[in-house]
Amino acid sequence: MANLNVGVFGAAGRMGATTCQAINSDDSMTLRLGVDSNQVGTLIPSTSLQIERTVQSLADIDVIVDFTVAEAAMENLKFAAQAGVHAVVGTSGINEEHLSELTSLFTNSNCIVVPNFSISAILLMHLSEIATPYFSTIEILEFHHNNKIDAPSGTALATAERISRNLTEDLRDPTTDLTLEGARGAKAQGNIPIHSVRMEGMLAHQEVIFGSTGQTLTIRQDSSDRSSFMPGVLMAIKGIPNLAGVNIGLETLMDV
């Protein structure tokens, strides 16, 4: 497609609004629709479009981007699939049950569910996967702003899943006496501990710490502004027509 017509669901939110600006600044796509239950009727900056509460048709849309909440996103995605429109999903809380449903829905168009649009976060996962066979202990620490409603983050869970691919067996936790429940974090795939921090002043950050006899390795990624996610969002919008069915993660477009 020479030029993609794009609609954004959750257009009044922080990620949605930043995405609208990024789409407006890219010559290969045009923002045609902004939907949000907040700020209905407000003009989207640098456009003549008003934010709509709902939409009845996606007839002129090639790709929708969803930054809402999981329950609303699933309804939006059903609508897109029925209309044969591609979907880029940045919404938190999309689980395995949702993914199974999406696989059955997207038969005439494609969908990509992206836990993290930060290219540096994707590279962190890739490097962590490479490092895994060389260490006997591994822990994940993820830090997010205090308004994030889910924990652990989708990125942390995806990181644990990728690390577990290179484990010969689940990690062993020698701790047997917990003074406080949860002190060793939540145990993800491969029995990998994930520790979640929610704090004002942060945006999105993650560390993976590897340890073996006499040495440690820390791989850390920081996103300090939502603009850092936009190259990944635009990559997903441009790449989704060339994928097939339902896809997970920006790495499906990155050869990592």
Q: Looking at 148, 195, 205, 238, which residue is catalytic?
A: 148
Whole-angstrom Cα Rg for the chain: 19
8 A C-beta contact, residue 245 and residue 112? no
Question: Closest Cα partner for 43 from 14, 76, 12, 18?
Answer: 12
Q: Mark whether 238 is an active-site residue.
A: no
Nearest 5°: phi and psi at 239? -90, -20
Using CA atoms, how far apart are residues 117 and 1, in angstroms rounded to an integer?
22
Q: From edge to edge, which strands make up the β-sheet containing 111-113?
A: 29-35, 4-9, 63-66, 86-89, 111-113, 246-248
Decide: residue 63, CB within 10 A, 0-12 exposed, 13-18 middle, 19+ buried: buried
Question: Closest Cα partner for 114 from 255, 234, 18?
Answer: 234
- What is the Cα 164 distance to its own chain's centre? 19
For residues 217-244, one letter each, b for 16 or more C-beta atoms within 10 angstroms of the residue's C-beta and e for the rest, the string is eebebbbeebebbbebbbbbbbbbeeee
Q: Mark whether 148 is an active-site residue.
A: yes
Q: Looking at 144, 145, 187, 205, which residue is catalytic?
A: 144
> Annotated catalytic sites, by residue?
144, 148
